[in-house]
Amino acid sequence: MKLTKVGKIVVALLILIVGIITLIIYYQNKSDLSIKKIESNEFFDIKIDYEKTGIALLDEKVSEFVKNKRKQFIDIVDKAGRVETNKYNLIVNVKNNKYNDVLSIHALSFAYTGGAHYTREDESYVYDLKKEKYINFSDILVSDGFTNIEPIVLESLYDYAKEKDIILDEEWVKRGLSQSDSNYKYFYFSNQGLNITFPPYQVASWADGEITITIPYEKLGGILKSEYMDASLVTDITYPKPGKRDLSELEGKKLIAFTFDDGPNTKTTSRLLDGIKEFDARVTFFVLGSRVASNTEVLKRAYVEGNQIGSHTYNHLNLLLLDDANVLSEINLANDEIEKVIGIRPSLLRPPYGNINDHIKTLANMHIINWNIDTEDWKLKDRNLIKDKILESAHDGAIVLLHDIYTESVEGAIMAMKKLKQEGYAFVTIDEMINLKGVKLDYEKTYYNF
Ligand code: ZN
């Protein structure tokens, strides 16, 4: 079809008209949502200024808040007697934050009715548009999420304070952050993460103002319910923090490094971790890469509780029989698996069967840790015999070889620790051992004891 000149002009005009109408409708709707009211006389000024959400249920709540604040203010002004010299003032505004399916409304009123400063009142309504219901802070967290988020909030708060030169009062912070929905009423999501606002007087003084902290989604893994997690923005996962202890209390003690190979194993490794707590022991696990993915939680636990994680390669093959490429893949695959869970690559390698040579050491580029007390636990399979074997060879600086995949080995180790503790021994990881002994590990050596 070919348009005449007149036809073209008509089409252009039509497009223009449709455009103008669209703009008019857009601005009309926008102005419908925008509430601006100013009341002023010789006694007071009232300024109300906010945007409606367009959701009737919520807008009603907000307008009720506004109405109440206005009424309270007028009542106070009337009661005080209208005095021209002391002009009173009310400001009401409302912040809306919509992100994905969560709409957070923070309504605020500032009233000046005499005194040192404004009286501030806050209210919040957080609404899940998908679930069509109001939610509290605890609703966005997994079951023990509150316990896990509290230290993160605390850290963010102290970072904020440091940046703004605010001195926080420990008591205020403790009370203001304690685990209750009422302390976390003002929260909203953004593409930066979860934001929490603390009005003045909650964690800091009036002068320090309102404090809003932002916790990136990266830090909220395992804390935020998955439906509130903006996974598209999570660039890396959070890793467990290694448990560290003060080594000064171990100085001068006889030291033994218990090492456990061939795990992790959820059942037996957990039993070991439970048992060694009593003796304040830390041990070293030389784990098999192939076993990590199916036992991640216990590995994390071991790490968080201050134990050291080393590699025992991926498949437990005799490295002396492999070509270079396979040696490297045995080592690298295991390190990848471990890193996925604890966030760092291990520095220690225990070669399967203790088999190593100089060439493989160069390939591995890890510190090689063997042992000088072989319990032969896998053969003995008897907790008392295993315990005796440890006790008869125990000495300062020893490295004990065990396997945390056998209940008898785990129980034997715990029994030995009980006795050795009475004899003044402390149980340390390899890293703790070298720190306390002042040893710097060499890549070319194989270590059997310290
Ligand atoms: Zn092994």
Could you tell me the distance, in angstroms and rounded to a whole number, from the CA of residue 334 to the centre of ligand 1? 13
| Tens-digit pLDDT profile for residues 348-369 | 999 999 999 999 999 898 999 9
Could you tell me the distance, in angstroms and rounded to a whole number, from the CA of residue 434 to the centre of ligand 1? 23
Is-contact 227 142, C-beta < 8 A? no
Q: What is the pTM of this model?
A: 0.52
Quote the DSSP letter at residue 444: T
**Pick the residue with more confidence: 310 or 249?**
310
Could you tell me the distance, in angstroms and rounded to a whole number, from the CA of residue 288 to the centre of ligand 1? 8
Separation of alpha carbons 201 and 168, rounded Å: 11
**Cβ < 5 A residues, ion ligand 1:** 261-262
Could you tell me the distance, in angstroms and rounded to a whole number, from the CA of residue 259 to the centre of ligand 1? 11
Question: Is the confidence at residue 24, as pLDDT, over 80?
Answer: no
- Angle, CA 383 vertex, CA 253 and CA 423 arms, to 5°: 20
Could you tell me the distance, in angstroms and rounded to a whole number, from the CA of residue 293 to the centre of ligand 1? 18
- Cα-Cα-Cα-Cα dihedral of 26, 29, 32, 34, to 10°? -50
Q: Which range, of 34-43, 153-162, 390-399, averages the lowest pLDDT? A: 34-43
Residue type, 144: D
Q: What is the mean pLDDT of residues 399-405?
A: 97
Q: What is the mean pLDDT of residues 107-120?
A: 83
Question: Is the confidence at residue 31, as pLDDT, over 60?
Answer: no
| 193 Cβ neighbours under 8 A, 6+ residues apart | 214, 215, 216, 217, 218, 219, 220, 233
Could you tell me the distance, in angstroms and rounded to a whole number, from the CA of residue 256 to the centre of ligand 1? 20
Could you tell me the distance, in angstroms and rounded to a whole number, from the CA of residue 243 to the centre of ligand 1? 25
Could you tell me the distance, in angstroms and rounded to a whole number, from the CA of residue 240 to the centre of ligand 1? 26
315 by DSSP, 3-state: which? coil
Could you tell me the distance, in angstroms and rounded to a whole number, from the CA of residue 416 to the centre of ligand 1? 21
Could you tell me the distance, in angstroms and rounded to a whole number, from the CA of residue 345 to the centre of ligand 1? 19
Q: Which range, of 55-69, 226-240, 295-309, 410-424, averages the lowest pLDDT? A: 226-240
Helices 145-164 and 170-177 pack at an angle, to 10 degrees, of: 140
| Tens-digit pLDDT profile for residues 227-258 | 898 866 665 556 788 888 999 999 889 999 99
Rounded to 5 degrees, what are φ and ψ at 449?
A: -165, 180
Could you tell me the distance, in angstroms and rounded to a whole number, from the CA of residue 61 to the centre of ligand 1? 65
Could you tell me the distance, in angstroms and rounded to a whole number, from the CA of residue 302 to the centre of ligand 1? 18
Q: Which domains does the chain have, with CATH numbers?
A: 35-125 (3.30.565.40), 138-233 (3.90.640.20), 247-447 (3.20.20.370)
Q: Which two tokens stand for residue 324?
A: 């270079």
Is-contact 382 243, C-beta < 8 A? no
Could you tell me the distance, in angstroms and rounded to a whole number, from the CA of residue 396 to the centre of ligand 1? 24
- Residue 343: predicted pLDDT: 85
Could you tell me the distance, in angstroms and rounded to a whole number, from the CA of residue 377 to the centre of ligand 1? 12
**Pick the residue with more confidence: 77 or 432?**
432
Q: What is the mean pLDDT of residues 375-396?
A: 97
